């Protein structure tokens, strides 16, 4: 599983959990039905649904005529516990309240908009404990989205704290990171014997500048990375037997 640092202005380490379902041994090792993890995820889903209904109320109070059906249209077969800000944005464009998706995301559902309601977060320590209880591995995802390159020392301090909680690895390769940022994270992982992961963070039309399996600045995600990651995880598991 990977988790994502909240905005640095909050001055504390919070997380949200995202189960990774397509990375070899990472998912093979995790039990998504483990009682504590399943209970926490259910609580977070219920909270997310309540938050989305509150956002609908706020939109309508501001004069936007949006319904549950309007946003669920963009995630057929799912409920309000799975809806994110992109679905609200698409509904706004569809109903001609906004001209394009990127403008809707920026102007209407950003963290500073009048209708945005933050999601509940759990602590980094609890997130890592839950991931480990379920047999998974905890990675920090796209650290340089929350810290600038000039704030690398602050990112390292965050990683130091997370290592105390049992952090297993870091997403060193990311679709919007520079070569130097990637090198900084790789160096940190080597120094502290952390696992390395990576991904383009492709989200289709929601991030038109990010392409599938493609890094920025000509970087390429080595296929050897996944093989090495799987081997290191297998080695780590064998040492625990």
Per-residue pLDDT in tens (0 to 9) along the chain, 241 residues = 444 444 433 333 333 433 333 333 344 467 888 999 999 999 999 999 999 999 999 999 999 999 999 999 999 999 999 999 999 999 999 999 999 998 999 999 999 998 999 888 888 899 999 989 988 888 998 888 888 889 999 999 999 999 999 999 998 888 778 889 999 999 999 999 998 887 766 666 656 666 666 666 667 777 777 788 788 777 777 766 5
Proportion of the chain in helix, strand, coil states, percent, rounded to 5: 55, 10, 40
d(CA 219, CA 222): 9
Listed in sequence order, the residues at least 6 apart from 178 whose beta carbon sits closer than 8 Å to its beta carbon are 149, 216, 217
Supply the pTM of this predicted model.
Answer: 0.77
Structure tokens, 193: 């014997």
CA distances from 92 to 60, 121, 203 (A): 12, 26, 19
């Amino acid at each position: 599983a990977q988790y994502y640092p909240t905005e640095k202005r909050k001055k504390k380490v919070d997380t949200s959990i995202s189960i990774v379902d397509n990375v070899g041994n990472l998912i093979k090792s995790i039990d998504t039905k483990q009682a504590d993890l399943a209970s926490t995820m259910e609580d977070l889903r219920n909270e997310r649904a309540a938050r989305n209904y509150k956002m609908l109320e706020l939109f309508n109070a501001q004069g936007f005529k949006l319904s549950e059906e309007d946003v669920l249209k963009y995630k057929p077969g799912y409920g309000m516990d799975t809806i994110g800000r992109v679905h609200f944005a698409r509904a706004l464009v569809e109903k001609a309240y906004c001209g394009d998706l990127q403008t809707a995301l920026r102007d209407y559902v950003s963290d500073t908009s009048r209708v945005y309601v933050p999601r509940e977060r759990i602590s980094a320590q609890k997130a890592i404990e839950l991931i480990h209880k379920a047999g998974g591995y905890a990675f920090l995802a796209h650290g340089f989205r929350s810290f600038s390159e000039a704030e690398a020392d602050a990112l390292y301090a965050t990683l130091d704290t997370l290592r105390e909680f049992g952090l297993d690895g870091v997403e060193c390769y990311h679709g919007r990171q520079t070569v130097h940022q990637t090198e900084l994270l790789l160096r940190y992982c080597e120094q502290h014997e952390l696992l390395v992961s990576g991904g383009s963070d492709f989200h289709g039309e929601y991030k038109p500048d990010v392409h599938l399996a493609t890094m920025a600045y000509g970087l390429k995600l080595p296929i050897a990375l996944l093989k090495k990651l799987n081997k290191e995880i297998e080695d780590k598991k064998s040492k625990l037997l």
